[in-house]
Copies of this chain bind each other. A is one copy, B any other.
């Protein structure tokens, strides 16, 4: 019982620059939805047997009309998260039957893509990036790795991370999907940092599957994700139970049976609207990057940058950490003092952050804080 009960969140009023969190802050409507639908299994009052067919609240409309249009897919489902969506696809394709099958994915992929493939029993071949300082993932590299992998085993899926969660790079998905299709391989687009932040349509980019994260990028409470696919793959990934004819096996019958899906629906109009303003977010990120470079903190990854998630390298902060009593935690502590949260405690030389949703004033405050911290210690 120790430490159970209600707990406060210490960072609640901080300026948040954690890439994991900037796109998942709730709207006012989502907060209202929390209290309205907080009780366990609240969305199941009028369940006809599966989550996606519930009409009160209007989950049916969301899953079967709104979401496919939004994702640019034929079919869509709500899942427990992006990783659970990726695993459902991979598990459906691995079959666990005719020996080892493989997936080819970018080496910038999120760990959960890798772990989902491991769980599905797929052999994993990684497409290398171009290395320091850009870490780009190129379509030609997919061709080379698929060739190589196909010598050894049957490649059944490709995956590309758009953007990746380290550098915020946006690879050429059209080119990569063309390569995959030349080899007869369907492509999964992991859009956990794209769907809900920026314009992205699965079919326009040539992908066969798309996954997104509600809690990461769609202003939703976690855990919740979205999954879109082409019609032709629905019978594989959404195959039904042999005994319970309406239950989709890879979704274990139902997924987001609770309040997160209602926050997703509540925030949706805001999410659609904010995507229209994506160019402002990119501009903000580029300005931030330029200002950081002026104080000697360099952005790695694509330049000019095309996403709010940025990776920085800082020789100066690293050197300070070597010469101060607080050691490598000094940066975390100094930022905490200034009510800025989001850079992992202990990091100084390499760190990522996100400017998503920050106001101009907040951006300026963050930059000034970095400048001030460097000044204090040098």
Interface size class of A (residues with CB under 8 A): 35 or more
Are B66's CB and A4's CB within 8 A?
yes
Which B residues are in CB contact (< 8 Å) with A36? 6-9, 12
- A residues 38-52 near B (Cβ < 8 Å) are 38-42, 44-46
- A residues 1-37 near B (Cβ < 8 Å) are 1-12, 18, 20-21, 23-26, 29-37
B38, B58, B223: the one contacting A257 at CB < 8 Å is B223
- Of A1, A39, A118, A256, the most chain B CB neighbours within 10 A belong to A39
Interface string of A57-99 (1 = CB under 8 A from B): 1100110011000000000000011011001000100101100
A155 CB-CB contact with B under 8 Å? no
Are A256's CB and B10's CB within 8 A?
no
Which B residues are in CB contact (< 8 Å) with A6? 29, 32-33, 36, 266
Q: Whole-angstrom distance from the CB of A376 to the nearest CB of chain B?
A: 24
Given known A34-B38, A35-B34, A40-B221, contact A252–B5 (CB-CB < 8 A):
no
The CA of A6 and the CA of B29, in the complex, are separated in Å by: 6
Stretch at the interface among A135-143, A239-247, A274-282: A239-247
Give this chain's copy count: 2
Are A4's CB and B34's CB within 8 A?
no
Stretch at the interface among A108-116, A200-208, A361-369: A108-116
Stretch at the interface among A211-219, A283-291, A293-301: A211-219
Residues of chain A at the chain B interface (Cβ within 8 Å)? 1-12, 18, 20-21, 23-26, 29-42, 44-46, 56-58, 61-62, 65-66, 80-81, 83-84, 87, 91, 94, 96-97, 111-112, 114-116, 118-119, 121, 213-216, 218-224, 241-244, 247, 249-250, 252-253, 255-260, 262-263, 265-266, 268-269, 272, 341, 345
Which B residues are in CB contact (< 8 Å) with A21? 39-42, 44-45
Are B40's CB and A2's CB within 8 A?
no
Are A4's CB and B38's CB within 8 A?
no
Are A252's CB and B40's CB within 8 A?
no
Residue of B nearest to A259 (CB): B221
Are B58's CB and A40's CB within 8 A?
no
Are A115's CB and B39's CB within 8 A?
no
Q: Whole-angstrom distance from the CB of A295 to the nearest CB of chain B?
A: 26
Which B residues are in CB contact (< 8 Å) with A57? 7, 9
Are A269's CB and B5's CB within 8 A?
yes
Which B residues are in CB contact (< 8 Å) with A114? 241, 243-244
